[in-house]
A and B are shown apart, each in its own frame.
Chain A
């Protein structure tokens, strides 16, 4: 089934004409209403009128996550506050979050692209969708919630956590679609098995997953243990939230909603635009956003794009599963975590920056464990066990406040953390999430 045949099966030439028309409008909108873009255009001596073809996109400046921080909170908004009907936020590289806003039309577009995604995953208005992604400022929970309603499915707005209750409701409500991060899907499977519940024999049939990288072996495990078809979806709040791209039931890449998002692949080192098929950083220009007309957003995600038509009938190009990051951003339990945030907290709590290591593990396929090892040097040490414990607890508390997820702080002896790898070796990710 296809939700919007007009756009999802549009010919490539019609699509490109539509994209150009929308791009020109969007660039004009950004230039007129966002001082940040007006300045950036003037600095390059370019004007919106210079966009005469899609290829002209490459003369436009990039937008980076740091630009959101520099214009915190609403500096990149292109409409009066009165027009904004929703605000969401995700982590920033330092203390301040990345804030995004939506007009009523933006909300319509968001519901539309997510509804397409649900249908591409094989979901219909007959389904009962249990949403186990976080509600609140995170775009995952509400993004899928409102699209499920648009589709006319039955929504069970559980939000994340409460695992035993999730399992009970899957059984009692005969949930057919389970929406959560891939790592939480595995965790639910484990908990169910411990409770003696066989979810592989339940009514579940489709899994809507995303918000974090996952491997093909995880996908197979989720499919086997929950008895559903796990669908990979992709999005980020800076662009809209979930709904930027996602798989159809063919599982051969994630269809990009190209009528709303113009996508490029660039070489992250040289900024050179790469042809279809080449791997590089995904750069996205939303084409219809009113509140936040972002131009050429550097997602930091490494992938490649295949424009060939899909067996499902959709003509929208497919991006490969994200194979890595261009920066040091980590995704832990679906939440973006930057080592710089952790460093800021340690500096604040300890007074000095100790030698530290960020350790992420997903032991026996359960939820991500985030552990921060801090070496206790002469400066940090005190002959007072209570004082050291208090230091540890304060650091854990501040981590939770800043990162939005729990992290365990472990005090270790000097020299415990390997030095040979240099400064960059601040992170040890044992999850192998980008491998198959």
Chain B
């Protein structure tokens, strides 16, 4: 399914991630998952939160550049090979490229959740729906 992720620009120096996540904490926005992509002196922080619209507002109000990105979220059984057979193979078969991906602990036991940014959202969604 499609979910809205918040992507923020941060310089790669001590205290910047703390600053950003503290903004969310103070606004009582819950962080479900995050990942960092860095290019030595700066990075992009991907945030999956319980209220993306409000998160964008408070982050921008705090002076941090951010935007929303639509990503795919899939749940797979928490067992060996599930990611490969249920996600990666169908996407590869359809020629869909993954720009980045990260996993996080699902609320229920035995399930893993994966966030994927793909180059073709519609096709990606379709590929995973058929899987």
Most chain B CB within a 10 A radius of its CB, from A376, A383, A384: A383
Decide if the interface of chain A is mainly helix, strand, loop or mixed: loop
For the complex of A and B, the 10 pairs showing the least CB-CB separation, nearest first, are: A383-B7, A383-B69, A385-B37, A381-B65, A415-B63, A376-B9, A411-B42, A389-B39, A385-B39, A413-B11
Q: Is B64's CB under 8 angstroms from A384's CB? A: no
Given contacts A381-B67, A385-B38, 14 further A-B contacts (CB under 8 A): A376-B9, A378-B65, A381-B9, A383-B44, A383-B46, A385-B39, A385-B44, A388-B44, A411-B42, A413-B16, A413-B64, A413-B65, A414-B63, A416-B11
Contact B64 A414 (CB under 8 A): yes
Per-position contact with A for B20-37: 1 when CB-CB < 8 Å, else 0? 000000000000000001
Q: Which residues of A contact B67 (CB under 8 A)?
A: 378, 381-383
CB pair A411–B16 under 8 Å, yes or no, is no
Q: Is the CB of B10 within 8 A of A413?
A: yes
Return the CB mask of A161-198 against B: 1 if under 8 Å, else 0: 00000000000000000000000000000000000000
A412 at the interface (CB under 8 A from B): yes
In the complex the two chains form, what is the Cα distance from A120 to B64 in whole Å? 59
Most buried by A among B10, B37, B41, B42: B42
Chain A residues, Cβ within 8 Å of B109:
none
Question: Contacts A410-B41, A411-B42, A413-B65 hold; do A378 and B99 have CB atoms under 8 A apart?
Answer: no
Q: Is A377 an interface residue (CB 8 A)?
A: yes
Contacts of B11 in A (CB 8 A): 411-413, 416
A residues less than 8 Å from B90 (CB atoms): none
21 contacts between A and B (CB under 8 A): A376-B65, A377-B65, A380-B65, A381-B66, A383-B44, A383-B67, A383-B69, A384-B44, A384-B99, A385-B37, A385-B43, A388-B39, A411-B9, A411-B41, A411-B42, A412-B42, A413-B9, A413-B11, A413-B64, A413-B65, A414-B64
Tell me, rounded to whole Å, the shortest Cβ–Cβ distance linking B36 to chain A.
Answer: 10
Q: Give the interface size class of chain A.
A: 10 to 19
Give the chain A neighbours of B39 by CB distance below 8 A.
Answer: 385, 388-389
CB contacts under 8 Å to A, within B35-75, are 37-39, 41-44, 46, 60, 63-67, 69
CB A10 to nearest CB in B, in angstroms, measures: 58
Q: Which residues of B contact A (CB under 8 A)?
A: 7, 9-11, 16, 37-39, 41-44, 46, 60, 63-67, 69, 99, 117
Point out the residues of chain A lying under 8 angstroms from B65, CB to CB. Answer: 376-378, 380-381, 413-414
A368→B7 CA distance, assembly (Å)? 36
In the complex, the answer to whether B42 meets A378 with C-beta atoms within 8 Å is no
- Docked Cα-Cα span, A413 to B64, in Å, equals 7
- CB-CB nearest in chain B for A408: B41
**What is the distance, in angstroms, from B68's C-beta to the closest C-beta of chain A?**
9
Closest residue on chain B to residue A384 by CB atoms: B99
Chain B proximity mask over A382-414: 1 for CB below 8 Å, otherwise 0: 111100110000000000000000000011111
Give residues of chain A (353-383) contacting chain B, Cβ–Cβ below 8 Å. 376-378, 380-383
Q: How far in angstroms is the closest Cβ of chain B from A145?
A: 40
- Chain A's closest residue to B38 (CB) is A385
B interface footprint on A114-156 (CB within 8 Å = 1, 0 otherwise): 0000000000000000000000000000000000000000000
| Inter-chain contacts of B42 with A (CB < 8 A) | 376, 388, 411-412
In whole angstroms, how far apart are the Cα atoms of A411 and B65 in the complex? 12
Nearest A residue (CB) for B20:
A413
Shortest distance between the CB of B11 and any CB in chain A (Å): 5
Residues of B within 8 A of A383 (CB): 7, 44, 46, 67, 69, 117
Collect the chain A residues with CB atoms within 8 Å of residue B117's CB.
383
> How many Å lie between the Cα of A279 and that of B9 in the bound state?
48
Cβ-closest chain A residue relative to B65: A381
Q: Determine how close the nearest CB of chain B comes to the CB of A359; give it in whole angstroms.
A: 14
Shortest distance in angstroms between A369's beta carbon and chain B's nearest beta carbon? 14
Contacts of A410 in B (CB 8 A): 41
Provide the bound-state CA to CA distance between A416 and B65, in Å. Answer: 12
Give the nearest-CB partner of B64 in chain A: A413
Tell me how far the C-beta of A214 lies from the nearest C-beta in chain B, rounded to whole angstroms. 30
In the complex, chain B residues whose CB is within 8 Å of the CB of A413: 9-11, 16, 63-65
